[in-house]
Chains A and B, each alone.
Chain A
Amino acid sequence: MRVLVLLATMALLAASRARDLGDLSLEQLSNVTVSSVSGRSEPLSHALGSVYVISADDIRRSGATSLPEALRLAPNLQVARTGNDGWAITARGFNGPFANKLLVLQDGRSLYTPTFAGVFWDAQDLPLENIDRIEVISGPGGVLWGANAVNGVINIVTKSSDDTRDLLVTGGIGDEESRVVAQFGGDVSHGTYRAYAMTTSLDDSPHDRLQGGFRTELGTPRDRITLQGDLYESGDLHGGNVNLLWTRNIADRDTLRVQAYYDATSRSQQHLDTVDLTVDHVLGARGPHGILWGAELRRARDNIDNDPATFSFLPETKVLNSWAAYLQDEVAFGKAFVGTFGARVDSNEYTGAEFLPSIRFGWHPDGEHLVWAAASRAIRAPARFDRELFLPGAPPFLLAGGPEFQSEVFYVYELGYRGQPSEALSFAVTGYYDDLDRQRSIAPGAAGATVENDLEGHQWGVEAWGSYRVLESWRLYAGYDYLDRTLRVRPGAVDLQPGSSIGSDPKQWAKVRSALDIGKRLELDLMLRYYDRLENIDVPSYVAVDGRLGWNVLRRLELSVYVRNIFDDAHVEWSPGEELGRSYFVKALIRF
């Protein structure tokens, strides 16, 4: 299925399609379908959605030292650094350190915490050199990913161990941090492997982080096993995961995939174990139809060490069972039209089965232009945070979890265009309108305030980005987002929560990036971002520029200097007082 994704990626970047094929392993190449799948003589194509792909080279050239920082590259993401290792990241609004409408996956493993339906970014790390690409989908992805893929999905795909069969040592130091990664990889019988170790130290953090992991891929073009795992530790924060994927290629046409993973993560006051099993089946050509169906089972056990003085989750330990089944059919209507019809039934511990349908249509008069439209229903299912959080940790409570809190509901309508008018220029524009229903609110109650679903409203926005190749050695990228939201309290209800607990979003933001090669050995990259002010938390608008100068000294040795916030001494992205100023990072990378 990765091949399919790669093909889709190619659809976005038609001009560099052949180039992208060069990233595929031998197995992947042997699985690329070169026939027109459904027997249609003309090609069909196109991701019918708002998708931006961050490539491995983009990440390398950006100078980013952490995963969240690399996500700044996506024009359709809002990324704010809330502190030294704290981040607020989302697409299409509702941002916050506990943003809960974005799903994040690494090689199919959810990085999301059911306690608050969000991601602890400080727990997530990996050698950035091992990232193959990051697919950023803004907009709902409920059919394949289920509840909580409301405003977007971030899909981190790491490299095949086929592509890391070398020795890699990289180290960097700066005035905020230092990082060292050592990795080796090679062949085993019928496959390849890699193993890495890394350590990170942040200036403000009392603990260094230690992490290690492996990946191995074994098998034949017909049956393929991918097994990977990681272990990490940083003071109170520690955890690990193991992730197994079995892919069977059936009759060169269909693909059956079974994935199972286990993830354990602990931090002060919390311990979470997750087991997940997913099966999916891609049926290739069936007349004009291409069908995907699948099912998923997940069991998570979340234990919170309650503190009577501050907060409690009641019950202290909760087992969350969920299951889902989904079906998607992609149908060709003649040569220029395609439709995708999908639905998922997603069941969670609190509200039972929820229905998540989506309809998408695309029109591509030729290979250069695509117009698409979509309508989807998405939900954000209740998290423990909504139902079981009590403040303070013992009665009398100021806030008591809402036993009746239901899923937040979103009806999302999208219209998009993507095109490549010339070989040097490509761009995409998406407009969306979200009807928001049953949004989280806080109502006064007899035994303290409680969580309800009394907000409703709508939001609309525009996402646009493009790239232009000025010269063979100089490429420019630009992106712009606009977002406008109106929420009101349902007639007869009261909402006590501050607006900032729903989210803090800029009205607009823009990103511009320049990637310049100077001769054969030097690379100069500049990245500018502008965010409008965050009204409800008093953060003024700002412009920040990061830059990197890279020098490929030898084929095996690369040196670089990365400077954050080149032109300002201090700006705030989230928390007043948490000022971000100029900082640098010097790095060396050697491969054998």
Chain B
Amino acid sequence: MRALAPLVLAAAVLAPGLTRAELENEVKAAYLYRFLSYLEWPPPDLDGDGSPFVIGVVGADDVYEALREIVQGRSAQGRAIEVRRLKEGDDTLGVHMVFVGRAAAGSLGKMASRKAIVVGEVEGALERGAAINLVRTADHVRFEVAPQVAERKGVRISSRMLSVAARVETGAP
């Protein structure tokens, strides 16, 4: 399938003015948006009235900015999406998913004890209570998941998402 402009291979390398870090952050933000379609929250965390999803971002301003751009005009499972910039120690009441950036990795453990699904971006984040971790391989951003951590918060991760995950933490000791 040559779904690729001949001309375009040149473009394949990278989009303009895009530094590595920028693209990495944007891909991470896109993941956060995508995950919403593959997670099932129980009522009343997500009630039937079409109230919006709330994603909190702490310690990652670039991801926050990119995510705000991505969710504009978009919805997930028929719900609007709200993005909140949080500070370490902020209340996460009503937040469905919180991204804990590298700069705030110290608060992973504290966040993990709360209701929201925690997404990390540092090595070992799953072991520190995150349900999802975005990991940078040599060239790509992949994700690993700990379905049991999510389940303890009543959230089911779809099998589809598990099949794409780079690693599924089984929780066995």
Give A residues with C-beta under 8 Å from B. Answer: 1-2, 4-5, 7-8, 10-11, 14, 16-19, 21-22, 24-27, 29-38, 43-49, 51, 105, 107-108, 135, 137, 141-145, 153, 155, 157, 162, 165, 187, 189-192, 220-221, 245, 252-253, 257, 259, 278, 280, 282, 284, 290, 292, 294, 328, 330, 332, 338, 340, 342, 358, 360, 362, 364, 366-368, 370, 374, 555-556, 591
- Chain A residues with Cβ under 8 A from B69's Cβ? 16, 18-19
| CB-based contact B34/A4 at 8 Å | no
Docked complex Cα distance between A368 and B17 (Å): 7
| CB-based contact A252/B2 at 8 Å | no
Nearest to A110 among chain B residues (CB) is B2
Nearest to A358 among chain B residues (CB) is B6
- Chain B residues with Cβ under 8 A from A221's Cβ? 142, 164, 166
Residue from B17, B66, B158 within 8 A of A367 (CB atoms):
B17
Apart from A18-B26, A153-B5, A280-B2, 12 more pairs, CB < 8 Å: A4-B12, A11-B11, A30-B164, A43-B20, A47-B11, A51-B7, A105-B3, A189-B159, A192-B160, A284-B139, A330-B13, A367-B16
| CB-based contact B7/A360 at 8 Å | yes
The smallest C-beta distance from B90 to any residue of chain A, in angstroms, reads 24
7 A-B pairs closest in CB distance: A367-B17, A108-B1, A49-B7, A8-B11, A4-B12, A21-B30, A8-B8
Give B residues with C-beta under 8 Å from A. Answer: 1-20, 23-24, 26-27, 29-31, 33-34, 37-38, 50, 66, 69-72, 74-75, 78-80, 136-143, 158-161, 163-164, 166
| CB-based contact B20/A34 at 8 Å | yes
| CB-based contact B12/A18 at 8 Å | no
| CB-based contact A7/B5 at 8 Å | no
- Chain A residues with Cβ under 8 A from B160's Cβ? 26, 162, 187, 191-192
Q: Tell me whether A17 and B19 are in contact in the complex, defined as CB-CB below 8 angstroms, given that A35-B139, A37-B13 are known contacts.
A: no
Q: Tell me whether A7 and B140 are in contact in the complex, defined as CB-CB below 8 angstroms, given that A17-B18, A155-B5 are known contacts.
A: no
- Chain B residues with Cβ under 8 A from A135's Cβ? 3, 5
Residue from B6, B72, B80, B164 within 8 A of A342 (CB atoms):
B6
Residue from B3, B9, B31 within 8 A of A2 (CB atoms):
B3
| CB-based contact B27/A8 at 8 Å | no
Could you show 11 A-B contacts with beta carbons less than 8 Å apart?
A4-B9, A29-B31, A45-B14, A51-B8, A108-B1, A108-B2, A220-B163, A245-B1, A330-B13, A367-B16, A367-B17
| CB-based contact A11/B72 at 8 Å | no
Residue from A17, A30, A38, A49 within 8 A of B5 (CB atoms):
A49
Q: Tell me whether A27 and B164 are in contact in the complex, defined as CB-CB below 8 angstroms, given that A35-B139, A591-B78 are known contacts.
A: yes
| CB-based contact A34/B23 at 8 Å | yes
Docked complex Cα distance between A36 and B13 (Å): 7
- Chain B residues with Cβ under 8 A from A294's Cβ? 2
| CB-based contact B16/A11 at 8 Å | yes
| CB-based contact B166/A49 at 8 Å | no
| CB-based contact A22/B71 at 8 Å | yes
| CB-based contact A18/B29 at 8 Å | yes
Docked complex Cα distance between A36 and B3 (Å): 22
- Chain B residues with Cβ under 8 A from A49's Cβ? 5-8
Nearest to B67 among chain A residues (CB) is A18
- Chain A residues with Cβ under 8 A from B138's Cβ? 35, 252
Residue from A4, A32, A36, A45 within 8 A of B27 (CB atoms):
A32
Nearest to A361 among chain B residues (CB) is B10
| CB-based contact B15/A11 at 8 Å | yes
Q: Tell me whether A107 and B1 are in contact in the complex, defined as CB-CB below 8 angstroms, given that A45-B15, A162-B160 are known contacts.
A: yes
The smallest C-beta distance from B78 to any residue of chain A, in angstroms, reads 5
| CB-based contact B8/A555 at 8 Å | no
Nearest to B25 among chain A residues (CB) is A18
- Chain B residues with Cβ under 8 A from A108's Cβ? 1-3
- Chain A residues with Cβ under 8 A from B5's Cβ? 5, 8, 47, 49, 51, 135, 137, 141, 144, 153, 155
| CB-based contact A1/B3 at 8 Å | yes
Docked complex Cα distance between A313 and B172 (Å): 71
Nearest to A51 among chain B residues (CB) is B5
Docked complex Cα distance between A17 and B22 (Å): 11
Nearest to B65 among chain A residues (CB) is A18
| CB-based contact A14/B15 at 8 Å | yes
| CB-based contact A328/B164 at 8 Å | no
Nearest to B8 among chain A residues (CB) is A8
Nearest to A149 among chain B residues (CB) is B6
| CB-based contact B9/A292 at 8 Å | yes
- Chain A residues with Cβ under 8 A from B164's Cβ? 26-27, 30, 220-221
| CB-based contact A144/B4 at 8 Å | yes
Docked complex Cα distance between A252 and B34 (Å): 21
| CB-based contact A33/B159 at 8 Å | no
Residue from A29, A47, A220 within 8 A of B8 (CB atoms):
A47
Docked complex Cα distance between A245 and B78 (Å): 31
Q: Tell me whether A32 and B1 are in contact in the complex, defined as CB-CB below 8 angstroms, given that A21-B70, A330-B10 are known contacts.
A: no
- Chain A residues with Cβ under 8 A from B163's Cβ? 190-191, 220
Q: Tell me whether A43 and B10 are in contact in the complex, defined as CB-CB below 8 angstroms, given that A29-B27, A141-B5, A278-B1 are known contacts.
A: no
| CB-based contact A22/B166 at 8 Å | no
| CB-based contact B70/A18 at 8 Å | yes
Docked complex Cα distance between A257 and B3 (Å): 11
Docked complex Cα distance between A253 and B8 (Å): 17
The smallest C-beta distance from A26 to any residue of chain B, in angstroms, reads 5
Docked complex Cα distance between A22 and B35 (Å): 11
Nearest to A43 among chain B residues (CB) is B14
- Chain B residues with Cβ under 8 A from A253's Cβ? 139
The smallest C-beta distance from A52 to any residue of chain B, in angstroms, reads 11
Residue from B3, B16, B139 within 8 A of A252 (CB atoms):
B139
